[in-house]
Amino acid sequence: MKKRESRDAKVIHFFPNSYFYFERGIAAFREEKIKEAIEYLERAHELEPREPVVMCQLAICYTEIGQFRKSNQFLRYILENLDENMVYCYYFIANNFAYMKDFRRALQYAKRYQELDSSGEYKEEAEDLIQLLLEETPIGVALENNFAKAEQEFYQYKRELNRYLAEEDSASACQVLEKVIDEKPNFWPAYNQLALLYFEDLREEEGLKILYRLLDRSPGNLLGLADLFVYHYFKAHKDEAEALYEELKKVVPILTHHKERLAVLHAMMENYTLAENLFMDIVDLEVTDRPCFYYYRAKTSFYLGQEENAREYWQQFLNCDVYERETFPFSRKGEMAHEAPQILMELCREDVLDHFIGVYALSISSVRAELLLFNPLFEMSNWSYLEHLVFTDFEYLPEGILERNCKCLIQIWNKLGDDILPLSISNLAFYKETLATIFHLSEAEMVLDEERLMGISACFLVRFGGKTASEATQICGEEPFELPFP
């Protein structure tokens, strides 16, 4: 047997250097493993404490976990002690100050970056950040830029505008805003307010024209896109609203007003987790539209299973004194009367039966407040007298045959809708058939007897609800009453 040759074992020692840890830190960062990235980058920084690229990447990671001041310490050290040519650090510093709501210094550093590198890698991001900061900067803050001067000049118009709004003189208020836009075409908030006034006056084409003009001059304007989304949402333009929402959903807002606006949009689209994340980051004193904020905060909390919180926010909404119904409204989803988009769709239909059912759904809806208060396009001028009676729960005594018969029908719907046939897409045919029957019977001048209401209910269940006579009798407590169906 041949002996094996003995060889000396050769051991290769591996000493990872700064570059090794830096590469792994970058890889972890790209995989969104931020804590792991920080561990690698801190080790790389220990090995090469004066390497500016490592420090900059570490600063970016600290921003990701909300340690904005620590991030700025690294970035300033780079500029002051290591490499003054890494001017993009000014943009990162500006971003951190914006997150900390120190808008003055955020603007100063963003402007500094623009001055030093007007065509740099973060040119577009810096422009977007500056635009956001300018939109939210309070009028009283004296900033060394042209926008501040324009905003101070706009203050001259504020008193006049507010006076007209208080007097409900929207025509004069629109004229003020039109003048502002002509003289200060880059004052974006004037576009938003003017479009809203146009919508409230049902001047839809003019409102849309203003929004498109805004977005043409300021592409990606967050509030402009939000206003356009609201328009399509309440017009039941499902595809257009969803396309805009997909764009808005990608936005990570920095400014409080933008967080408030996006939180509401998320709640409108039933994306309650995203809504709650933004709502929680808004200080109560910073809220701009309190009724809207508390309403959607209540709705969000309810559908996240936080009913106690939901009831507290609902009470705060009621304290705003803008809504007359005090009963806590929210219910589990699944029924049409609790789905805002479905109600809006019915209300936008031209068919008489569909529109009537939409009005009824709105009258009993858990989302009635948002469809009345926060819909800039809401109007009842095209409703029939009968629909007004339904909406007011027949507050005024109906005298005509059709009105009296419809009052009976609403009573039947309310009774059956609680447990037997709730108003939903699957049961919509029952509601349309019974309504059409009431119209035909009223045309034939037949008056329904309220004392036979349960017998009529049983009759409808057999004829349109898929129940047998015995089932209907058991449900209603009376045998089906024979009606002369057309």
Return the pLDDT at 184. 82
Asked if residues 316 and 296 have their Cβ atoms less than 8 Å apart, the reply is no
Q: State the Cα–Cα distance between residues 244 and 153, nearest whole angstrom.
A: 33
Q: What is the pLDDT of residues 200-242, one digit of tens each?
A: 888 999 999 999 999 999 888 899 999 999 999 999 999 999 9
Per-residue pLDDT tens over the stretch 318-336: 988 888 888 898 876 567 8
First to last CA, the chain: 110
CATH 1.25.40.10 domain locations along the chain: 18-135, 168-319
The predicted structure's pLDDT at residue 159: 67
Query: Phi and psi at residue 65, in whole multiples of 5°?
Result: -105, 10
The CATH number corresponding to 168-319 among 1.25.40.10, 3.50.50.60, 1.20.120.1200, 3.40.50.300 equals 1.25.40.10
355 half-sphere exposure, CB direction, 13 A CA radius: 13
Low-confidence residues in the chain, pLDDT < 50: 1-15, 138-148, 150-151
Ramachandran sector of residue 220 (left: φ over 0; alpha: ψ -120 to 50; beta: rest)? left
Q: What is the dihedral of CA 401, 405, 407, 408, to 10 degrees?
A: 150
- Return the pLDDT at 138: 46
Query: What is the pLDDT at residue 482?
Result: 85
How deeply is 176 buried, as exposed, middle or buried, from its count of CB atoms within 10 A (0-12, 13-18, 19+)?
Answer: buried
pLDDT of amino acid 190? 87
pLDDT at 235: 93
Which of 1.25.40.10, 2.40.110.10, 3.90.550.10, 1.10.10.2840 would CATH assign to domain 18-135? Answer: 1.25.40.10
Please state, in angstroms and rounded to a whole number, the distance separating the CA atoms of residues 22 and 19.
5
Structure tokens at 330: 């929210």
Two structure tokens written together for 236: 């039941």
Dist. CA 265–CA 256, nearest whole Å: 14
Structure tokens at 100: 């900390």
Of 425, 424, 426, 420, residue with least CA distance to 460: 420
Mark residue 146 as left, alpha or beta (left: phi above 0; alpha: psi -120 to 50; beta: remaining). Answer: alpha
d(C-alpha 403, C-alpha 410), whole Å:
11
| Residue-level pLDDT at 216 | 92
Whether the Cβ atoms of residue 334 and residue 366 lie closer than 8 Å to each other: no
Per-position DSSP letters for 364-406, written without gaps between them: H-TTHHHHHHS-TT---TTS-HHHHHHHTTS-SPP-SHHHHHH
The half-sphere exposure of 358 on its side-chain side, counting CA atoms within 13 A, is 21
Q: Is 33 helix (H, G, I), strand (E, B) or coil?
A: coil
Check residue 108 and give its pLDDT: 82
pLDDT of amino acid 356: 95
Distance, CA of 328 to CA of 326 (rounded, Å): 6
Neighbours of 380 (CB within 10 A): 11
Closest CA to 290 of 330, 254, 319: 319
Which SS3 state, helix, strand or coil, does residue 156 take? helix
Q: Which token pair is 259? A: 């967080």
Q: How far apart are CA 396 and CA 388, in angstroms?
A: 10
Cα 373 to Cα 94, 229, 310: the distances in Å are 38, 17, 19
Both structure tokens of 371 = 């469809």
Residue 64's nearest CA partner among 90, 91, 95, 85 is: 95
Picking from 177, 175, 200, the residue whose alpha carbon sits closest to that of residue 187 is: 177
Considering the entire predicted model, what is its pTM? 0.70
